[in-house]
Structure 1
């Protein structure tokens, strides 16, 4: 036993199998159906045919299929609970790092659970089919129903769910951010309000002409300098804002650079970056943006030009 354990640990270390389950891939559907479920049924039940245990094939096959069915129900309920948690976290979000981290973790958990439920559902249906092929009987779970729960809703329940779904859609529509993201960053000691207001007005007009869309401003929520002035510009113009607060406790000194990565993530599809002066963080943002093919506008601080001359 000690040798087997040591060998297992060496194998894990050799192949780097140290990921958490959320980081490991979900097998494809054909693997779930054929290599896992059908081979499992054949391995267990095939050896019982033509023996004194042949009568046990039906209850064993039914038990295997039922286990997967029940697991699917449990996981589906957990998905619903996680969705409720995300909704609650979004409503009470106070802009703090703790709230931001909790919301991101809940979203990641929700997406991972949905993948697992989909895989278990594929396995469950494959197991039910194997049971029916093996016994010639239709698979009916010991409790509950194999059919979709929605098919058994009463009229009142259906109407109630329709009402809630409509409410969710209306709430989402109110909070939906329209337009294309424009990333703004820069020096914390920037003081020239007019330069930022005039520059962003021109950038906004140009994007409207070229893409027939308005912008929304993405920034790191700086309380001083260029980002604070850009936030004031957005409020004055009725422009939506997306704030990417650095999470210092999670990322330490790398927190602002992590924010740069988040703002430049492909899912946001930033239309451009405007840098008003800046420091190493702003320089990093500009370099990363250009490496991704995003247009970068750099605006020099007039106050520093005067000082230098």
Structure 2
């Protein structure tokens, strides 16, 4: 038998509380069981792939597994949205007849069942992502689309989604929404010294703007370190990914334009490692230098992260 929760005996999580409200005689799996599933699947995958000829691709394989649960969650969410659209039409057309009343109840049940299934898949996804981060030190982010905040991770918002929301807010009111702090940092800036200085800068920004959201491209190196910081602190992420398929070599600079379009209150840049040996082996990161220049041209507050003196 699969582990399931007992509504009368256990203290229910939000997912379990929603599941308990459904009129389904079949039990739902407990949240702890779903978390164990995600953790076990990822751990088993990494154990099998590690130290084999597939080890060089374990990052892609691991992210694909997490992405599969993310994709099915999104698909279920679309089904729930369709059920709610149907429900809205039925409510508008309701004439008091028994037939329409039955259809309304059925559409309501479909939407509620889909909501619970979506939450279940998100729990599995987040547990797999947490196990992946623990085992590899890498953080997962979706290849496209946004991710709701959960107990295990901060929200991750695609820059295009954030821009659309910002435009919609301007049409509705003068509410500026989340305070954006933008970051571009060098891939080679991934030493312990870099992490320390970067976290100092991010902690300073969060103290100054407690409601901040962090905008970054999610590139490897220091920007991945910043994503880990955001997830640990519960700071929402706005990901302006470089789309090389669409924009080619200019993709990192197009990502900068997306971040500037979000009207950040502050721009942080780390153009090279603060570790002297690492810095001498690589040139300063062009996209970070470019963002710093553009920020100053736009009159935005800019801080360059540097070594302690």
- Does TM-score exceed 0.5, indicating one fold? no
Higher helix share: 1
